[in-house]
């Protein structure tokens, strides 16, 4: 049975609005057409101050409220995979970016347009290039060029959480491990040392790795250490003298990047000999849960939200690093994000709208 659509100001159907946003292609580095659409609509709202920085867009109320809440979401998607056109069947919308995270953008856009007198000042942050390397992040660009636009008491990131609150986030790092050997003819392998064969013990330890599961502020994080890339080989008749392995470590926010790296090196250590190297190639620290902040706690308590740890890395960490408590809260299922069958269900979209609208229009349960 199809549920009746939840309509908001001016009879807007949020799932139909999300479908409209899905139909505007916005793969990473090509977000401009979608940002143009958002900018046109937001600039038509007299109660908003709108600033564009490159392909990033920030709309703010300036009412002098006691609290300021940032609502942030990325405008880019992964490349389409035969799912570039929105497909709406009953209460399910399919299409690239429907879950990650144009449903969240639809909530932000409609809130910005509809709620002209919020109980808390609102900052709506639409930023580019989240799905690529962190060095290109549009949110990072805003923090570098216009940090004043991002000042807030707390922030909600519209990442897909199925309407639950995902607190904090884990850190992530990649390390390149280079094992050395000695070349020889494959007819006389005893005269060399096979670097590829040296990977066997190390890969076995990674396969058997037992992860930590620390509980922080009631949220259980689950770490991981995985091999994600292997490069090796010289020729079909040559014993290889070098093998490169890339490992990815997801670490809980109770560890610093330095502590996490030391842990990985400890795991790798028994398999390293003279001439081998380990190089950290990328790292982003995590963020501790902050769901006890009045704005976030009110959201949780009024709506009886499930609270769990965010096991991936999100831009919650960028806000947290600058002293802004933040959490992930958005429609959509993260397990279908980036897949050809990505979809968004109306019930999660409506639930996120209802909870966020209530927070923005009523404010927190404190003076």
d(CA 238, CA 192): 9
230 φ/ψ angles, rounded to the nearest 5 degrees:
-135, 135
d(CA 357, CA 359): 5
3 state SS of 98: helix
> Which residue in 55, 76, 121, 223 is the catalytic one?
76
> Which residue in 121, 130, 345, 350 is the catalytic one?
130
Residue with tokens 């259980």: 220
352 φ/ψ angles, rounded to the nearest 5 degrees:
-70, -40
3 state SS of 124: strand
Helices and strands (H and E) in the chain: how many: 9, 21
Q: For strand 224-232 and strand 215-216, is the pairing parallel, antiparallel, or unpaired?
A: unpaired
DSSP assignment string, 243-286:
EEEEEEEEE-TTS-HHHHHHHHHHHHGGG--TT-EEEEEEEE--
Q: For strand 49-53 and strand 56-60, is the pairing parallel, antiparallel, or unpaired?
A: antiparallel
Q: Active site includes 130?
A: yes
Q: For residue 124, which of 88, 91, 149, 99 has the smallest C-alpha distance?
A: 149
C-alpha distance from residue 155 to each of 168, 223, 320, 329 (Å): 11, 25, 9, 10
For the record, the structure tokens of 4 come out as: 């009746």
Q: What is the dihedral of CA 56, 29, 249, 103, to 10 degrees?
A: 60
Q: Active site includes 100?
A: no
d(CA 141, CA 130): 11
For the record, the structure tokens of 116 come out as: 């002209």
Active-site residues, by number, are 76, 130
């Amino acid at each position: 049975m199809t549920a009746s659509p939840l309509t908001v100001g001016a009879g807007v159907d949020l799932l139909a609005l999300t479908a409209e946003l899905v139909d505007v292609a916005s793969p990473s580095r090509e977000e401009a057409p979608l940002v143009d659409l958002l900018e046109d609509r937001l600039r038509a709202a007299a109660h908003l101050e709108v600033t564009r920085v490159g392909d990033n867009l920030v709309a703010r109320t300036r009412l002098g409220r006691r609290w300021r809440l940032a609502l942030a979401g990325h405008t880019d998607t992964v490349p389409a995979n035969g799912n570039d056109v929105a497909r709406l069947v009953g209460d399910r919308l399919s299409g690239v970016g429907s879950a990650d995270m144009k449903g969240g953008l639809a909530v932000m856009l409609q809130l910005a347009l509809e709620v002209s007198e919020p109980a808390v000042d609102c900052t709506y942050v639409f930023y580019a290039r989240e799905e690529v390397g962190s060095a290109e992040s549009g949110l990072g660009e805003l923090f570098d060029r216009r940090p004043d636009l991002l000042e807030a008491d707390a922030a909600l990131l519209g990442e897909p959480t199925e309407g639950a609150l995902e607190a904090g986030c884990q850190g992530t790092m990649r390390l390149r491990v280079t094992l050395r050997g000695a070349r020889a003819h494959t007819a006389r392998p005893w005269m060399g040392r096979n670097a590829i064969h040296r990977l066997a013990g190390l890969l076995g330890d990674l396969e058997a790795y037992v992860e930590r599961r620390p509980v922080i502020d009631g949220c259980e994080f689950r770490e991981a250490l995985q091999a994600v890339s292997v490069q090796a080989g010289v020729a079909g008749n040559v014993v290889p003298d070098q093998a490169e392995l890339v490992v990815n470590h997801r670490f809980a926010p109770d560890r610093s990047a330095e502590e996490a790296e030391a842990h990985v090196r400890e795991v790798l250590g028994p398999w390293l000999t003279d001439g081998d190297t380990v190089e950290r190639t990328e790292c982003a620290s995590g963020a501790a849960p902050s769901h006890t902040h009045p704005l976030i706690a009110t959201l949780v308590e009024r709506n009886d939200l499930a609270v769990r740890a965010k096991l991936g890395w999100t831009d919650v960490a960028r806000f947290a690093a600058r002293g802004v408590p933040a959490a992930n809260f958005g429609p959509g299922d993260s397990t279908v994000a980036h897949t050809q069958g990505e979809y968004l269900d109306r019930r999660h979209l409506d639930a996120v709208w209802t909870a966020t609208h209530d927070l923005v229009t009523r404010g927190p349960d404190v003076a």
